[in-house]
Structure 1
């Protein structure tokens, strides 16, 4: 009888505590599954049992050879001794460098090639005296090894992934044995390195860049990465990904001759949506919370307008995001996030047949930090994309960016006056980026997050819930 009242109040409180308006920490406390159990749910694209052995993207590598000007090294991730391999500027000016570029390789996992590409683009900008470029900037290209194709090439503590493209989705590694760390955690660790003022006292800006397969990881990382450090500004650039992680079940393709939700049951599974997402080492949030993170950060979506070949991911999950062409999928994504946020952006001529999206302007105030840069003459080529005037601006400019291509009839509208979102987000990365139109810049948005209201029964039950959990 002594527990009757607490249990009764607990029963009344659970629905409110576990509901969508409950604080994330409370919701996670009530989830019965452990993180290792959540990690057992694989993402829709790399689950071999669903898609068959033909899903073997990537190439076997020969001997690791660091390109001229770089060295091959490893960086600690987490506290369990795991490391992420990476190509790194050979002789960095750690004391004076103000910028760092984390360049994510594509599906072939050729980190050496991507390090060289980013380093060449940087050297060209320095030679041309491009405004704001630091000649001492440091370039890093993480190497996401495959346990299928790279056996013998990674060390006993270095992270590697079983399916050759699982790293693109932010999935957990399967080496070393027993690890639960993901490619998201690896990128978080690299940013933490540059936020260490004792090692990099002058560091001010870290840019995470991905194209193609790396663009897939880059887009997901911009959504689910842990809050950036307060002492460095982080820009997230995703270029021409084959798919994005949608925050709702809505999709731009409604033509069943292209793809259909009915015949594509995994269309909203993680990497394409958030169903089954296991979170990262810092926890698990709701899709709404990840959407708010994404739109409040300095995110640049870079699209090659000629990227129209039926390449990359052609599973139904990706086809539902805009058809065969990566270009159309990414232009549809731009339309999607603006419609969710209820911005003032002119979406005339953009692809995507969205019937009725939910209104998430309570999170955005009608303004997003994300910007779209479309390079009219670029195909699916990282060097071509980022060597362009627009690509250079995305990498090196700190204020307004050129928008590049826009549909016929499109007009750049004046920025909508910021309305206070219902739940504000602290974000050091939104500085100079929050705008309703690509190419316009504004101030950072910050504020204390407000906890959702809970019912009287929930509040009464909280002390007893604590007793029961002890």
Structure 2
């Protein structure tokens, strides 16, 4: 049994399940603090790790269970581990009497790579770096061949922006580990320049190209990368845009209706297709990315994960 995994499972058996809808029971120890995390059953030989990112409800356990269902449906339980990190926010701490050692963020700042407000500052993207680094460490995970980071809705916004800015981890290349990012039904995307598919009044929408909708004022985590560096790294990364064909409600209660988001399209399916088209036009030489539509599914994380197309996005070699 992997050492830190064993520690997680022991912690998990004693932690109180309460919650935003629930506080994830496991704890990952980082220098900056502890991260709440849910973890699925550990197979003897872990060849694939699926890191599943919750949406704005911070319901990590719900997403963990959906990801485990997808693993079972695809017949991948013998070698796939599911990890569901939980980005708590400040309101969760007093509400559930959580220890001060737990990492938490202000509001939804974790969705854009913002820094935790306690116990120490850590970008939500740096937290993902730490998880990726651990599961690609051959001393602890000798057999891992692939890491998949999946996010739906608000979680997909995290995954798309993380795929843009993620630090290169030499251990991945050295150990022959493939990274895949699956971006499912986000409300918005980060564009590389001031072009947008929908006409809008620039004077009424001054923030349309600021991070997280564009690359102006990128977070501290970006480390001074230029837009050109960000784009050239991004298009080489393996990214799958997984879009529900029924995610077409322009009035959906959780849809970002800011002018910066509306400039990307009227609803999520349109925004995803327009963004992918934008990438293809900017890179006619080809990109290491594809778009998969999911018939009959709207804005539904479980439906996306457990669909045949969702399973293909997660597990297709």
* TM-score higher than 0.5: yes
Q: Which residue of 1 aligns with 2:167?
A: 226
**Equivalent residue for 2:225, pick from 266, 285, 291:** 285
Q: Which residue of 2 aligns with 1:338?
A: 280
Give yes or no for contact 2:115–2:123 (8 Å, CA) kept in 1.
yes
Taking the TM superposition and a 5 Å limit, the aligned residue runs for 1:109-188 are 109-126=58-75, 133=76, 135-151=78-94, 152-163=96-107, 165-176=108-119, 179-188=120-129
1:96 aligns with 2:40: no
Cα deviations by residue, 1:326-371 (Å, 9 ceiling, x for unpaired):
1111111001111111x2xxxxxxxxxxxxxxxxxxxxxx121011
1:367 aligns with 2:286: yes
**Equivalent residue for 1:87, pick from 25, 33, 38:** 38
Q: Which residue of 2 aligns with 1:61?
A: 20
1:299 aligns with 2:239: yes
Q: Measure the CA separation in 1 of the matches of 2:203 and 2:234.
A: 29
Q: Which residue of 2 aligns with 1:75?
A: 28
With normalisation by structure 2, the TM-score equals 0.87
Q: Rate the CA distance shift 1:220–1:135 in 2: closer, same or farther, 3 A.
A: same
The alignment of Structure 1 onto Structure 2 pairs a total of residues equal to 291
Q: Measure the CA separation in 1 of the matches of 2:299 and 2:101.
A: 34
With normalisation by structure 1, the TM-score equals 0.59
Q: Measure the CA separation in 2 of the matches of 1:234 and 1:331.
A: 23
Shift of 1:305: 1.4
Say which structure is richer in strand.
Answer: 2
Taking the TM superposition and a 5 Å limit, the aligned residue runs for 1:292-331 are 292-309=232-249, 310-311=251-252, 312-323=255-266, 325-331=267-273
State which structure, 1 or 2, has the greater radius of gyration over its C-alpha atoms. 1
Q: Secondary structure at the match of 2:235?
A: helix
Give yes or no for contact 2:188–2:256 (8 Å, CA) kept in 1.
yes
Q: Measure the CA separation in 2 of the matches of 1:62 and 1:334.
A: 34
**Unmatched segments (≥5 aa) in structure 1:** 1-59, 67-71, 127-132, 344-365, 399-470
Q: Measure the CA separation in 2 of the matches of 1:123 and 1:84.
A: 26
Q: Measure the CA separation in 2 of the matches of 1:292 and 1:157.
A: 38
Q: Which residue of 2 aligns with 1:235?
A: 180
**Runs of 4+ with >6 A deviation:** none
Cα deviations by residue, 1:19-69 (Å, 9 ceiling, x for unpaired):
xxxxxxxxxxxxxxxxxxxxxxxxxxxxxxxxxxxxxxxxx72663x6xxx
Q: Rate the CA distance shift 1:124–1:266 in 2: closer, same or farther, 3 A.
A: same
Q: Secondary structure at the match of 1:123?
A: helix
Say which structure is richer in helix.
Answer: 2
Say what the alpha-carbon RMSD is for the aligned residues.
1.7
